[in-house]
A and B are shown apart, each in its own frame.
Chain A
């Protein structure tokens, strides 16, 4: 039987980027989570309040099975996340998870991978990047990260540069290995000025067609739509993680549906059950 987990807050802080990061002691969740999955988080302790009423779906930023910890990265966007942001280490959170279908990982160690994140969409990419780097190695992994402005970005690039494991990290420190992190900010204060999708476009124009990359993207819907336009025109395989208004989070209520192709017609699939990760060419935008 599954049940909601009560996880103790180990660390909760506002990062230089303005994002909140919360680390929970939740061994069951940490052991079973896969990149792209999410947890459904109660803002109030059960029964302590009805406004906001519903849980908040937060994608898993990383999961450390050995330490029994999971992290979530979120942005304060409304009442629910504002209440969540007030929680202190030592307090507990009621979470359901891991939920949903995550990303399909690469199966060939020689395949290049492009990981695209926009805004707080960087959250699940970190967890995905750890697994991807384990399979295809650092040298075949490229990041395309976008944000509004430099300070939002600098934190992200630091975090992503730390992704290398063991020897790779040493190689990065000694300067013999430069992680391939390409960035774009809307005000040009970090990387290219403009949208991350322009970085993606440049990358895709120069790919080795005999060994095409796998593309994974997470971020705002307009960004994802543009990414999918590009990957489609280049014939690339791509998966996207979609956001949706959600109630139960476990597949019962049919609130969070996404319109996808079904034969010559369409059907509505649940972001919480069949998603939140979908094959890009299935989604009808």
Chain B
């Protein structure tokens, strides 16, 4: 077994580095820059039952060490995923995790049902935390009852491993994690973006047409790291750490805090090869520290 090899929710991965939903499309654009088989896994752009138009522009605003986005989950719907995107991704030796979105509990469950047993889909990440759609999305991730019902419905609809992606826009992230565990999820991804806004002082306008958006990038890393550590203390299922990871050092910090794997998101926009560069950096770290396998690092942060 190689140093970086790991497994989460039964998904065997060459390394613990995945690419985060919404930052990597369905892989095609980035396949011009590197062999996608080098990734631990790909998490696809959020996919809904029917195609969604997304929000009007401007959809992003840069902020100090970060960015706000309000894309609004523009996507071609699950049929296009099944007929075009998944078949294309099958050429790679790469676990594919489909990020699932919906406006109602039934929509989430229906997308999950359609993907159940589909060759080339390793797991489902349930997006209950997108702050940029009017119905569904974040509402499911911030209300404990709705969270339980959507995760429960997806659980019944599929035999695939399911991984809810938690919102940081809650008072108690541990409570949300426990609700998901009670519904029989196989792992937890955290965090999604933090709700924010930006205003242009000169024009007096909001910078985003949607007014609010989700903050990502290095600016949110301390919040993400804290939440990963808190959830890792509280639950016994694998954790995928996400939030502002730009370098291998950031990634190692998440592993030490208790993440079994990590996702690279906004960094992909700055450097198209960020994810595989980070994987190589983690490998060097393991060699330097004499660690035989990356799993030995997980949750080993020392209290001081």
Contacts and interface: CB of A to CB of B under 8 A. Distances in A.
Nearest to A250: B29
Given A4-B272, A96-B272, A268-B54, A51 B33 contact: no
Interface of B: 22-25, 28-30, 32-34, 45, 53-54, 56-62, 64-67, 69, 71, 74, 217-219, 246-247, 266, 268-273
Contacts of A50: 65-66, 217-219, 246
Interface in A253-279: 253-259, 266-268, 273
Interface of A: 1-4, 42, 46-47, 50-55, 96, 244-259, 266-268, 273
Contacts of B25: 251-254
Majority-rule SS of A interface residues: loop
A53 B74 contact: no
Contact of B269 (A2, A51, A248): A248
Given A3-B33, A53-B65, A255 B60 contact: yes
A245 B269 contact: no
Contacts of A4: 271-273
A259 B74 contact: no
A121 B118 CA distance: 49
A53 B270 contact: yes
Nearest to B35: A1
Contacts of A267: 53
B23 A252 contact: yes
A80 B44 CA distance: 30
A257 B59 CA distance: 8
B219 to A, nearest CB: 8
A8 B30 CA distance: 25
B270 A55 contact: yes
Given A50-B246, A255-B59, A256-B57, A1 B270 contact: no
10 contacts: A50-B218, A54-B62, A247-B266, A248-B23, A251-B28, A253-B22, A253-B60, A255-B59, A255-B71, A256-B57
Contact of B74 (A251, A254, A258): A254
Given A3-B33, A50-B217, A247 B271 contact: no
A257 B74 contact: yes
A253 B71 contact: yes
Contact of A245 (B57, B74, B271): B57
Nearest to A257: B57
A259 B269 contact: no
A1 B33 CA distance: 5
A254 B45 CA distance: 10
B29 A252 contact: yes
Nearest to B23: A253
A53 B69 CA distance: 14
A248 B216 CA distance: 14
Contacts of A245: 57-62
Given A4-B271, A247-B266, A258-B57, 8 more contacts: A4-B273, A47-B247, A53-B62, A250-B29, A254-B22, A254-B74, A259-B57, A266-B53
A258 B28 CA distance: 21
Contacts of A47: 246-247
Nearest to A78: B62
Contacts of B22: 253-254
A3 B53 CA distance: 31
A247 B67 contact: yes
A171 to B, nearest CB: 44
